[in-house]
């Protein structure tokens, strides 16, 4: 089946620093990827839609200048959390559309901001 | 936008019994309804999905039913096993392919 990888799997950083998370489709090309955030014991909340070669579309309430998304190729999308603060600590998960509307998820990145 | 409600939030069943999780959605334009299983600290895994032109779909012990008129869909797990214990999420999407998730159901299968 389709494989989506994410790197790093976990990261700890100091408040005010930036963190980049990579999402890769390993055996298929993904023109569309999605970024989600999941707080403990909560559901997945869509942050933004990442389309290859164009600007990302952000959901209401998500700061585009804080969460920078780049989808530079058909197999890679990156999410950069800029000037991270403790409230940004969360589980960040990407997904890629494989066919029609089926989405497969990456393993997630646990971000802890001290 | 789409709103998906999921019930119950927690469900405990005895091993071998059946489990049913129900979801409702608000946007009549939604046409794709996947179910995901998520174990603690891991990625959501697609376990079954259904599209709006189908009323029921089954895969071994797992089945999903869809009632488009009432805008609700359900997950049925038969002959539950301890390894079925996890959080289950329903979701809905339309032409934009963006998934809106339900709030999740913590299923515990008691041995």
pLDDT tens-digit profile of A16-54?
999 999 999 998 888 899 999 999 999 999 999 998 888
Tens of pLDDT, residues A88-114: 999 999 999 887 788 899 999 999 999
* Residues β-bridged to residue B19: B77
Q: Do B43 and A110 touch (CB under 8 A)?
A: no
Q: Mean of the pLDDT values across residues B22-33?
A: 95
Under the banding of pLDDT at 50, 70 and 90, the label for residue A1 is low
* Residues β-bridged to residue B5: B24
Q: Do B46 and A106 touch (CB under 8 A)?
A: no
Q: Most A CBs within 10 Å: which of B6, B101, B105, as the mutation test of the A interface?
A: B101
Per-residue pLDDT at A100? 77
Tokens of B17: 């019994």
Q: Is the dihedral of CA A74, B37, B103, A12 positive or negative?
A: negative
Per-residue pLDDT at B71? 96
Per-residue pLDDT at A56? 92
Distance from CA of A28 to the nearest CA of B (A): 17
Under the banding of pLDDT at 50, 70 and 90, the label for residue B102 is very high
**Angstrom distances, CA of residue B20 to CA of A17, A31, A60, B44, B105:** 45, 35, 33, 19, 10
* Residue B58 scores a pLDDT above 90: yes
For A49-83, what is the HEC assignment? EEECCCCCEECCCCCCCCEEEEEEECCEEEEEECC
- B46 contacts A99 by C-beta, under 8 angstroms: no
More confident residue, A56 or B1: A56
Q: Element (H or E) spanning B23, and its range? A: strand B19-25
- A49 contacts A64 by C-beta, under 8 angstroms: no
Question: Residue A32: what are its φ and ψ, rounded to 5°?
Answer: -130, 130
Per-residue pLDDT at B53? 84
**Residue in B with minimal Cα distance to A6:** B43
Per-residue pLDDT at A80? 97
């Amino acid at each position: 089946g389709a494989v989506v990888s994410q790197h790093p799997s976990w990261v700890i950083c100091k408040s005010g620093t930036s963190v980049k998370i990579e999402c890769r489709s390993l055996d298929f090309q993904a023109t569309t990827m999605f970024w989600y955030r999941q707080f403990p014991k909560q559901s997945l909340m869509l942050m933004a839609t990442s389309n290859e070669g164009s600007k990302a579309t952000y959901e209401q309430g998500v700061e585009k200048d804080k969460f920078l998304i780049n989808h530079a190729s058909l197999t890679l999308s990156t999410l950069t959390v800029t000037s991270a603060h403790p409230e940004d600590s969360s589980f960040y998960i990407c997904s890629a559309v494989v066919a029609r509307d089926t989405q497969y998820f990456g393993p997630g990145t646990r971000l802890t901001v001290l | 936008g789409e709103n998906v409600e999921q019930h119950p939030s927690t469900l405990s069943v005895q091993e071998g019994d059946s489990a049913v999780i129900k979801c409702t959605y608000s946007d009549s334009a939604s046409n794709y309804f996947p179910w995901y299983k998520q174990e603690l600290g891991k990625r959501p895994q697609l376990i079954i999905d259904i599209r709006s032109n189908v009323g029921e779909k089954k895969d071994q012990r797992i089945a999903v039913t869809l009632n488009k008129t009432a805008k609700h869909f359900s997950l049925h797990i038969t002959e539950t096993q301890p390894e079925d214990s996890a959080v289950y999420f329903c979701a809905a999407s339309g032409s934009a392919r963006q998934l809106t998730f339900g709030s999740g159901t913590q299923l515990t299968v008691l041995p």
